[in-house]
Amino acid sequence: MMDLAQLDLFRAVLRHGGMTRAAAALGIGQPHVSRAIARLEAELGFPLFVRGHGSALPTAEGEAFAREVARSYAGLDQLRRAAQEIRDLGTGPLRVACQPSLAARLVPRAVRLLSEAHPGARVAIHVPSPDTIWAWVASGQCDLGLARPRSGHAGVASVPFLRVDAVCALHRRHPLAVKRAITVHDLAEEPLIAGAPGDFQAAVEAAFASAGLAPRFPFTAQYTAARCGLAAEGLGVAIVDPVPARDLAHLPVVLRPLRPRLAIETVLLQPAGRPPGILAQRFVDLLLAERDALAGPDTGPGEAEASRTGPATSGPPSGRGSGP
């Protein structure tokens, strides 16, 4: 039966103009080339070459067969190129859905590193609501997701990705800014800036309720940037995720740890029952490396130290030069 090895030798004889020269170029014995061509001719039922003194010229049938072989190899070359693109760039755009806290810095850094390692890779970043992230990953609309924990979603495999402690964001001249940590009792009489209704805001309110306190939330803003912006205007104290807050160094805001601690968790999501594609796995590795860059020396995998993620100063202010 005809095979690719025979066809490769046939093309080599055509290219070099003789079996001896083809064998020398390939580093194999001339008898091996001659036997392979003879077997191919026997299978085809017609001669491919006219043998001469050290040369081999194609017959008319050999030239016609060579044209068909060239067309077939063009298809094989296309298959090889397609396989390389799939290996290097995946099967299409890598679709990632993530929560806003990671969309400004951590995820873009991982995208840049992926692009540097794999020029031409296409990545689509989406920032929908947490429930939408879970739904998109479950349905296969996204390859990866970074979201707050949820329950009741089938078809999704989730693993812990990042755990940080919430911090208080307040104007750098706020009286509480002199404290190294702020308790819920310190905030009992302070105007607070609430987040959008959801699990995190509910956890904040539960922390006050467990201390027997009824906090005031005259202002509400969905995202950390907006809550820190309101705090920068002296409108109150915001309890926020330190990861996006540290990117707001242009604001006159400092971050202080909240006591008792209030954990903010992020999980990494992938469609269940299906191994990640090559590009998706490489992106996960980069995400984990960027995640680990947030971690403090005393924290375990998936944890980041809140005091290392604040935008202005992590200690008390010392006059007008104490922060941006």
Residues 82 and 95 placed together within one structural domain of the fold: no
**Does residue 132 contact residue 176 with C-beta atoms inside 8 Å?**
no
Distance CA 185, CA 261 (A): 13
Task: Report the number of distinct structural domains present in the chain.
Answer: 2
What band does 211 get if pLDDT is binned at 50, 70 and 90?
very high
The model's pLDDT over 79-90, given as tens digits with 9 standing for 90+, comes to 666 556 555 544
What's the pTM value of the predicted model, to 2 decimals? Answer: 0.65
CATH of the domain at 72: 1.10.10.10
Residues 34 and 62 placed together within one structural domain of the fold: yes
Half-sphere exposure of 240 (CA within 13 A, CB side): 37
Sign (positive/negative) of CA torsion 163, 135, 129, 195?
Answer: negative
The predicted pLDDT at position 241 comes to 95
Which residues make Cβ contacts (< 8 Å) with residue 266, sequence separation at least 6?
99, 101, 102, 146, 147, 148, 161, 162, 163
**Does residue 40 contact residue 10 with C-beta atoms inside 8 Å?**
yes
Residues 67 and 99 placed together within one structural domain of the fold: no
Using the 3D structure, point to which of 29, 60, 88 is the last residue of a domain. 88
CATH of the domain at 300: 3.40.190.290
Can you give the residue range of the structural domain that contains 47?
4-88
Distance CA 145, CA 42 (A): 59
96 burial type by CB count under 10 A (0-12 exposed, 13-18 middle, 19+ buried): buried
The model's pLDDT over 174-202, given as tens digits with 9 standing for 90+, comes to 999 999 999 999 999 999 999 988 889 99
Residues 55 and 125 placed together within one structural domain of the fold: no
Distance CA 138, CA 18 (A): 60
Residues 49 and 136 placed together within one structural domain of the fold: no
Kindly report the length of the chain: 324
